[in-house]
């Protein structure tokens, strides 16, 4: 079993520690808050051996230095993390494989939110750590990339096994759901899912992780190639539909 420990960090990030009992290895998925990661690892009795960054933003790599100083762990991530001052110990990109014990994670280029954003897919555990590329019912803001690049990135997520659980980095689902219902009003699966989200959030429970199968049916940004959605959003191809949706969400 790959153990995944999820905890809230900063205002609306999720922290993830993943642990392989066989080897004793533990990896931080991003580092929004170094001190909180160290506390959470200590409480689990886990020793952090690696950091896997998804992109350079401070709420994803800002805790690297504190955690590395305390543990001597290996920092793995895209080259762009150097923008925060220190390059990763191991710079990785699309097609690379990183290991936690015997678990392998495939590195997928999901640029668009930032140019160098990557995701980690652990096929044997049926999980993917997707940072700010895709969220439950949403996707990251397009700060650095183009619509074409972002749609290519989402297309790489769409073809993962449908049972894959997507561990996204923020609890944005309730606000994403409001936009999704506006973007895709005729979607019955979306209406059901949005009602579940309201109920979970009313109870203070997380809506993350989310199974890819459900996102494929409900997330408007993953459905930019759906003919009905495209017709509603300008009648262009998937890239044009994605661009229209992303622009509309920015000001929703
Ligand atoms: Zn970000
Ligand atoms: Fe973020």
Model-level pTM greater than 0.85? Answer: yes
Give me ligand 2 centre to Cα 34, in Å.
15
For residue 79, the CA-to-ligand 2 centroid distance in Å is: 17
pLDDT score at 22? 98
What's the sign of the alpha-carbon dihedral 165, 168, 173, 176? negative
Neighbours of ion ligand 1 (CB under 5 A): 57, 132
DSSP summary character for residue 113: S
Ligand 1 centre from 231 Cα, in Å? 30
By C-alpha distance, which of 125, 199, 195 is closest to 165?
A: 125
Which numbered ligand comes closest to the C-alpha of 117?
1
Residue with tokens 């150097």: 82
pLDDT tens, position by position, 115-157: 999 999 999 999 999 999 999 999 999 999 999 999 999 999 9
Among the bound ligands, the one closest to the CA of 172: 2
Rounded to the nearest whole angstrom, what is the distance from the C-alpha of residue 172 to the centroid of ligand 2?
Answer: 10
- Cα distances (angstroms) measured from residue 80 to each of 53, 93, 136, 219, 222: 10, 11, 25, 28, 25
Q: Ligand 2 centre from 221 Cα, in Å?
A: 18
Q: What's the CA-to-centroid distance between 57 and ligand 2, angstroms? A: 7
What backbone phi and psi angles, to 5 degrees, belong to 91? -90, 130
Closest Cα to residue 127, out of 18, 232, 41, 246? 18
Which residues on adjacent β-strands are paired with residue 17?
5, 28
Percent of the residues in the chain that have a pLDDT greater than 70, as a whole number: 100
Ligand having the closest approach to the CA of 141: 1
DSSP string, 164-227: PEEEESB--HHHHHHHHHHHSTT-HHHHHHHHHHHHHHHTT----SEEHHHHHHH-TTTTTT-H
Q: Provide the domain count of the chain.
A: 1
- What CATH number does the domain containing 116 carry? 3.60.15.10
Which domain, by its residues, includes 177? 3-250
Helix 238-250 vs helix 147-158: angle between axes, to the nearest 10 degrees? 110
The rounded Å distance from CA 186 to ligand 2 centre is: 30
| Residue 32 contacts residue 62 (beta carbons within 8 Å) | yes
Question: Pairing state of beta strands 74-77 and 103-109?
Answer: unpaired
Mean pLDDT of the chain: 98
pLDDT one-digit tens code per residue, 49-100: 999 999 999 999 999 999 999 999 999 999 999 999 999 999 999 999 999 9
């Amino acid at each position: 079993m790959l153990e995944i420990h999820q905890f809230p960090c900063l205002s609306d990030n999720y922290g993830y520690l993943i642990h392989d009992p066989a080897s004793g290895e533990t990896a931080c998925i991003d580092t929004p808050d170094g001190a909180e990661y160290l506390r959470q690892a200590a409480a689990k009795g886990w020793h952090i051996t690696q950091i896997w960054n998804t992109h350079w933003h401070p709420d994803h790599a800002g805790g690297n230095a504190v955690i590395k100083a305390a543990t001597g762990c290996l920092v793995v991530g895209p080259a762009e993390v150097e923008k925060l001052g220190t390059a990763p110990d191991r710079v990785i990109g699309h097609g690379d494989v990183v290991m936690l014990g015997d678990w392998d994670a495939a590195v997928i280029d999901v640029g668009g939110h930032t140019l160098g954003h990557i995701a980690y897919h652990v096929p044997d555990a049926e999980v993917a750590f997707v940072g700010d590329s895709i969220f439950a019912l949403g996707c990251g803001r397009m700060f650095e990339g183009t619509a074409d690049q972002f749609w290519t990135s989402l297309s790489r997520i769409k073809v993962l096994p449908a049972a894959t659980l997507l561990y996204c980095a923020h609890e944005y689902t309730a606000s994403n759901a409001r936009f999704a219902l506006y973007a895709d009003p005729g979607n019955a699966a979306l209406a059901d899912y949005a009602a579940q989200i309201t109920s979970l959030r009313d109870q203070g429970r997380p809506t993350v992780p989310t199974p890819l199968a459900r996102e494929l049916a409900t997330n408007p940004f993953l459905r930019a190639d759906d003919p009905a959605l495209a017709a509603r959003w300008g009648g262009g191809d998937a890239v044009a539909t994605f661009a229209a949706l992303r622009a509309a969400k920015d000001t929703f």
